[in-house]
Structure 1
Amino acid sequence: MNPAFAAERNYISIPVLGNINVEAQGNIGVSTFLYPYQGDRLTTFLNESVGADEFIGKLKDRNRFNVNLNLSVLSFGFHKWGGFNTFDINLKSSTGFSLPSQLFEFMKLGMQGESTEYRMDNINIHTNNYAEVALGHSRQINERLRVGGKFKLLVGLGNASVKMNDVRVNLSQDKWMVQANGEMNTSVKGLYMPTKQESGKDVNTEAEKDLVDWENIDFDTPGLSGMGAAIDLGASYKLNNEITLSAALLDFGFISWRNTIHAVTSNKPWEFSGFQNIAIDSDLGDDDPNSLESQIDDLGKGLEEYASFHRRSTGGSRTAMLGATLNLGAEYVLPVYRKLKFGFLSTTRINGKYSWSEGRLSANVAPVSWFEAGVNYGLSSFGSSFGWIINFHPAGFNFFIGMDHLMVKVTPQYFPVHRANANFSIGFNVPFGKKCS
């Protein structure tokens, strides 16, 4: 959370189990899309038994959901060279989407009245996966100020993003019109994404040749997909014996991705003005280009061609920034009982369409030398939450477990029912050496 902080003792983590953090964030939940149906059964929001007002009333202007994983493969720290030093190998994964409410309104309502228009701008889906090797050092500058930093070498494992802008759907009695402007970038070594022509499928137009053939996507041997670097910077300042302030900027860096496949939509409006001159009793039967079946096939192919992506390049490179995090904290030690501390943490994730912020209050108590516990309450872009943590650290062993989002109501599969917010951390570490103040 802050590279300026230092452990009291040297330590080494239990491989893979040193620190595991799994997080889900969302302003929507299972209850937004699934509803009780015929007793103990469930149905989706598309079922006619679910009222449009009930469903649409649960939507947000931007419906967002993120899943993050931070896994410490190996970590150790030690006091030397005038400060505290750390070495870490971590695996990190982040996946999310941001979808406008009108996308779901279109799916639920369709055409209303003589004419209906839907505008579904800024449809965003992404996943970012990499490993990091980090070297950190922090040191005391004077009695009040401590500073620290980490340098991270990043190894890209896979990245993909889909962005759709200026998406419009016009439905009227005379014609339907769809317009979209989108692009897709994937950087995964071993990913094979052929076009329909490369797959040997029949292509009737020049535009169909470079359409991505989703049915024949395949994976070969995965491997290194990019390289990058990042830094963490932090400081803490002790105002007096009771109050300490801190600030940190984390994951400020980039990854240069290779093996990039770039694809775009056609970016031209698609129109359907109805079936024309339907052949009823043609000698050619369904093979007649004017038969109803032929025209329905043409409609499906036209929609598929428009909605799909045209592959433009393979094997390219691109550079993408990481999502940086800004932490601002304050800690207050109760003078009459110094084993009780109160804290405030402001967290801001700086990541474009996936940015969010949170403020969290905490109370932490250490009644004995080998045990600590805390509770916390936070307000964020995804709602409010209550959490807890416990930490056992007798001589030669440290174990902690906690969560920032207490899931009150979950499905049988343990998905949060109302808002998809969960944050769970657990870790095993071995401290050793003399205690340093």
Structure 2
Amino acid sequence: MNPAFSPERNYIAVPGIGNINVGAQSNVGLNTFIYPYGNDKLTTFMNSSISNDDFLGKLKDNNRINVNLNMTLLSAGFRAWGGFNTIDVNMRSTTSLNLPRGLFEFMKLGMNSSNSVYEMDDLGISSNNYAEIALGHSRQINDKLNVGGKLKFLLGVGNVNIKMTDMKVQMAEDKWMVQANGEMNTSVKGLTIPTKEESGKEIKNPSERDLVDWDNIDLNSPGLSGFGMAVDLGATYKLREDLTLSAAILDLGFISWSNTIKAKTSNTPWEFNGFQNIAMGSDDADGDKPLEDQLEDLGNDIENYASFHRTETGSSSTRALGATLNIGADYVFPLYDKLHFGFLSSTRINGKYSWSEGRISANVTPVKWFDAGVNYGISSFGSSFGWILNFHPCGFNFFVGMDHLMTKVTPQYIPVGKLNTNVSVGFNVTFGKKI
């Protein structure tokens, strides 16, 4: 949360379980798309028995899902050189998805709506996966100010970024018009994304040669495909004996990716003016085609237009990480100094996938070796309630907590409501004098 914070003892993390954080955030849930139907059955929003208003009323203009993983593989911390030092090796994964309302309006309503124009701008998915080696140092400047920082060396495992900057479907009685401007960049060592021509598939016109052949994507000998650097910077300031302020900027950096495959859509509007003269049987002398052949041509045209055309392979690209800004305050309750109240503002800076959250907490330390806390937050994805337990007697530290409670789940433990959950757990061996 802040590299200026210092642990109370030296520590060595238990490999693999020193700190695991798994989280998901969304402003839609399973019950937005799945509904009870008949006798203990389930159906999707596409079923005609589900009213348009019931389904569309649950959607946002931009329906967003984030999934993240932060796992510590190796970690240690010790006091030296006038401060506290840390060494970490972590695995990081962040995937974000943005689905505009217009996409689902088109799927549900189609031509059965007076509004036959469906806007689907900002449709996209972004996934960033890498390992980090982090060296941290924090120190006390005076009796009020603490500062800290981390230098991170990043080893890229894989990156995928697909975005549609301008997408529109217009449906009328006499014609359909589709417009899609999009691009795809993916960097994964060993990943092969062939074109239809390379796969040996039938090519009916030159525009199909460089179409991505999704059926024959292959991954062999995966490995590192990017390198980068980042920093964490933070500070705490004791404004009064009972009030401490803190601020930090995390993951300020970039990864330079190699083995990048780039593709884009045709970026020109496509129109369908209806079926032309229909021949009976095979093609006739006037060049007319049977309905079956015209339907096949329509399917090919849609596939050629909506799919991606590969433009580059083996190129390089540089992408910034999504940085996080944390601003917090800790207040000691004057009537009971073992009770603290806190506030934390977190802002993720990541383009269309940005989000913000404000969270208040109450934390109590009834004995020296145990802490507990509860918290409540409001964010771009809604509100949530959480808790934490922290055991830290001499010799070890174990903590478990979550910022989002799953109140109703399926038998497979999938949240029925909004997919919001954030769980942290860790076990570390501690040693040395307590500070």
TM-score, length-scaled by structure 2: 0.98
* 2:161 paired with 1:161: yes
| CA 210–435 in structure 1, closer or farther in 2 if over 3 Å, else same | same
Cα distance, 1:191 vs. partner? 0.3
The AA in structure 2 aligned to 1:117 is: V
Partner deviation per Cα, 1:300-332 (whole Å, 9 max, x = no partner): 100110110000000000000000000001001
Distance across 2 between alignment mates of 1:113 and 1:351: 35
Partner deviation per Cα, 1:315-362 (whole Å, 9 max, x = no partner): 000000000000001001123321111100000000001100001010
* 2:305 paired with 1:306: yes
Hey, what does 2:180 align to over in structure 1?
180
| CA 337–275 in structure 1, closer or farther in 2 if over 3 Å, else same | same
Cα distance, 1:410 vs. partner? 1.2
Distance across 1 between alignment mates of 2:269 and 2:341: 58
Aligned pairs for 1:330-341 (under 5 A) are 330-341=329-340
Hey, what does 1:189 align to over in structure 2?
189
Aligned pairs for 1:28-427 (under 5 A) are 28-112=28-112, 116-282=116-282, 290-427=289-426
SS at match of 1:376: strand
Distance across 2 between alignment mates of 1:385 and 1:38: 32
Distance across 2 between alignment mates of 1:395 and 1:284: 90
Distance across 1 between alignment mates of 2:67 and 2:210: 32
Distance across 2 between alignment mates of 1:31 and 1:258: 40
Distance across 2 between alignment mates of 1:410 and 1:24: 14
Distance across 1 between alignment mates of 2:372 and 2:357: 22
The AA in structure 2 aligned to 1:85 is: N
Cα distance, 1:112 vs. partner? 3.2
Give yes or no for contact 1:114–1:173 (8 Å, CA) kept in 2: no
Partner deviation per Cα, 1:139-165 (whole Å, 9 max, x = no partner): 000010010000000000000011102
SS at match of 2:375: strand
Cα distance, 1:240 vs. partner? 1.8
Using the aligned pairs only, state the percent identity: 67
Cα distance, 1:39 vs. partner? 2.2
Partner deviation per Cα, 1:47-70 (whole Å, 9 max, x = no partner): 001000000000001100000000
Cα distance, 1:281 vs. partner? 4.0
| CA 206–283 in structure 1, closer or farther in 2 if over 3 Å, else same | closer
Give yes or no for contact 1:115–1:173 (8 Å, CA) kept in 2: no
Moved more, 115-124 or 80-89: 115-124
Give yes or no for contact 2:283–2:290 (8 Å, CA) kept in 1: no
The AA in structure 2 aligned to 1:387 is: G
Distance across 2 between alignment mates of 1:281 and 1:256: 57
Cα distance, 1:81 vs. partner? 0.5
Hey, what does 2:429 align to over in structure 1?
430
Distance across 1 between alignment mates of 2:434 and 2:100: 53
Distance across 1 between alignment mates of 2:25 and 2:119: 25
Cα distance, 1:401 vs. partner? 0.4
The AA in structure 1 aligned to 2:219 is: F
SS at match of 2:411: coil
Give yes or no for contact 1:289–1:295 (8 Å, CA) kept in 2: no
Distance across 2 between alignment mates of 1:170 and 1:333: 60
| CA 19–32 in structure 1, closer or farther in 2 if over 3 Å, else same | same
Give yes or no for contact 1:114–1:172 (8 Å, CA) kept in 2: no
Partner deviation per Cα, 1:143-188 (whole Å, 9 max, x = no partner): 1001000000000000001110221111111111101100000000
The AA in structure 1 aligned to 2:250 is: L
Partner deviation per Cα, 1:16-74 (whole Å, 9 max, x = no partner): 10000000000000000000000211100000010000000000011000000000001
Give yes or no for contact 1:115–1:172 (8 Å, CA) kept in 2: no
Distance across 2 between alignment mates of 1:281 and 1:434: 90
Give yes or no for contact 1:90–1:131 (8 Å, CA) kept in 2: yes
Partner deviation per Cα, 1:236-268 (whole Å, 9 max, x = no partner): 001121110000000000000100000000011
Distance across 1 between alignment mates of 2:403 and 2:120: 33
Give yes or no for contact 2:229–2:253 (8 Å, CA) kept in 1: yes
Distance across 2 between alignment mates of 1:219 and 1:324: 30
| CA 17–289 in structure 1, closer or farther in 2 if over 3 Å, else same | farther
Give unmatched runs, 5+ long, in structure 2. none
Cα distance, 1:113 vs. partner? 5.5
Give unmatched runs, 5+ long, in structure 1. none
The AA in structure 2 aligned to 1:433 is: G
SS at match of 2:55: helix
Distance across 2 between alignment mates of 1:114 and 1:162: 31
SS at match of 2:8: coil
Aligned pair count reads: 434
| CA 366–211 in structure 1, closer or farther in 2 if over 3 Å, else same | same
